[in-house]
């Protein structure tokens, strides 16, 4: 089954404790992206990757890091989490340019992060 | 930062009624997408519109891209309880080797039986 998986699904942590949210897709997609979703703000893109070793900032990259060492994996790293990073996080992947006329962006189930 | 404004934010209507959700921006987009999101799940793509003035239909849902590619609408005919969910529009701008996507804040739709 084609899917995007994220782990963990839920995480409660404390300020300053480094954490990683993993994302993996089994569709051999080149494009992957991380979003955060906050009430009233919709989804905002954090980082995206066009291919292995190619990443770029989205609209809200501060406080986050990503890496793309393999095509299927795109982990999101919070080196020193703060309470304002409490949010619902989504990973997504697509075969070509996300938003392209023939490309579907598939989303993972989400990771709900709480930073105390 | 480009903005995509959706209206209304919340909509609760009776089963069988029609409704329209709007997505507006001052920026031009290469394409515009509509997603539906259920609680506890990620958004699922409904449609992508690319050409100004384009209209696409998906059963009782009609999507239109504005002539200037700055706005879009989603019209649902004879709404059913199964249409309940969060509807998100997303505008994409494509560059030579990248793609930037902006999401609207969403319209939470509730259809009462």
Q: What is the pLDDT of residue A100?
A: 66
Determine the Cα angle at B16 with ends B12 and B19, to 5°. 50
Q: Which two tokens stand for residue B26?
A: 């001052």
Q: What is the pLDDT of residue B3?
A: 80
pLDDT in tens, A14-62: 999 999 999 999 999 999 999 999 988 889 999 999 889 999 999 899 9
Q: Which 44-83 residues of chain A touch chain B by CB within 8 A?
A: 44-45, 48, 50, 56, 58-59
* Nearest CB partner across the interface for A98, out of B41, B88, B92: B92
Q: Which chain A positions have a beta carbon within 8 Å of B98's beta carbon?
A: 48, 50, 56, 97
Choose between A53 and A102: higher pLDDT: A53
Strands (E), chain B: 5-7, 10-14, 19-24, 31-37, 44-49, 55-58, 61-65, 71-76, 85-94, 99-103, 107-112
Q: Is the pLDDT of residue B31 over 80?
A: yes
Q: Provide the shortest C-alpha distance from residue B95 to chain A (in Å).
A: 9
Q: Provide the shortest C-alpha distance from residue B83 to chain A (in Å).
A: 19
> Residue B7: which pLDDT band, with cuts at 50, 70 and 90?
very high
Task: Say which residues have a Cβ less than 8 Å from residue A33's Cβ, sequence separation at least 6.
Answer: A45, A46, A47, A48, A49, A58, A74, A91, A92, A93, A98, A105, B101
> Residue A102: which pLDDT band, with cuts at 50, 70 and 90?
low
Distance CA A106, CA A97 (A): 12
Q: What is the pLDDT of residue A101?
A: 63
Q: Which 3-32 residues of chain A touch chain B by CB within 8 A?
A: 4, 31
Q: Does B107 touch chain A (CB under 8 A)?
A: no
Q: What is the pLDDT of residue B100?
A: 78
Q: Which two tokens stand for residue A53?
A: 């070793």
Task: Say which residues have a Cβ less than 8 Å from residue A3's Cβ, sequence separation at least 6.
Answer: A25, A26, A27, A106, A108
The β-bridge relationship of strands B19-24 and B5-7 is antiparallel
Q: What is the pLDDT of residue A89?
A: 98
Average pLDDT, chain A: 93
């Amino acid at each position: 089954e084609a899917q995007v998986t994220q782990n963990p699904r839920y995480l409660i942590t404390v300020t300053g404790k480094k954490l990683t949210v993993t994302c993996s897709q089994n569709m051999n997609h080149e494009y992957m992206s991380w979003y955060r979703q906050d009430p009233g703000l919709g989804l905002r893109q954090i980082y995206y990757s066009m291919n292995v070793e190619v990443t770029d900032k989205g609209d809200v990259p501060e406080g986050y890091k990503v890496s793309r060492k393999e095509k299927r994996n795109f982990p999101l790293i919070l080196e020193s989490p703060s309470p304002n990073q409490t949010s619902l996080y989504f990973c997504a992947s697509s075969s070509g340019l996300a938003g392209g006329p023939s490309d579907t962006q598939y989303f993972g189930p989400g990771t709900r992060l709480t930073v105390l | 930062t480009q903005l995509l404004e959706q209206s209304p934010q919340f909509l609760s209507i009776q089963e069988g009624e029609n409704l329209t959700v709007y997505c507006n921006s001052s920026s031009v987009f290469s394409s515009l997408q509509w997603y539906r999101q259920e609680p506890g799940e990620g958004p699922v793509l409904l449609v992508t519109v690319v050409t100004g003035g384009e209209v696409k239909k998906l059963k009782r849902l009609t999507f239109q891209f504005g002539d200037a590619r700055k706005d879009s609408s989603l019209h649902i005919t004879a709404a059913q309880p199964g249409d309940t969910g969060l509807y998100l529009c997303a505008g994409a701008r494509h560059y030579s080797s990248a793609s930037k996507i902006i999401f609207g804040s969403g319209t939470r739709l509730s259809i009462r039986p």
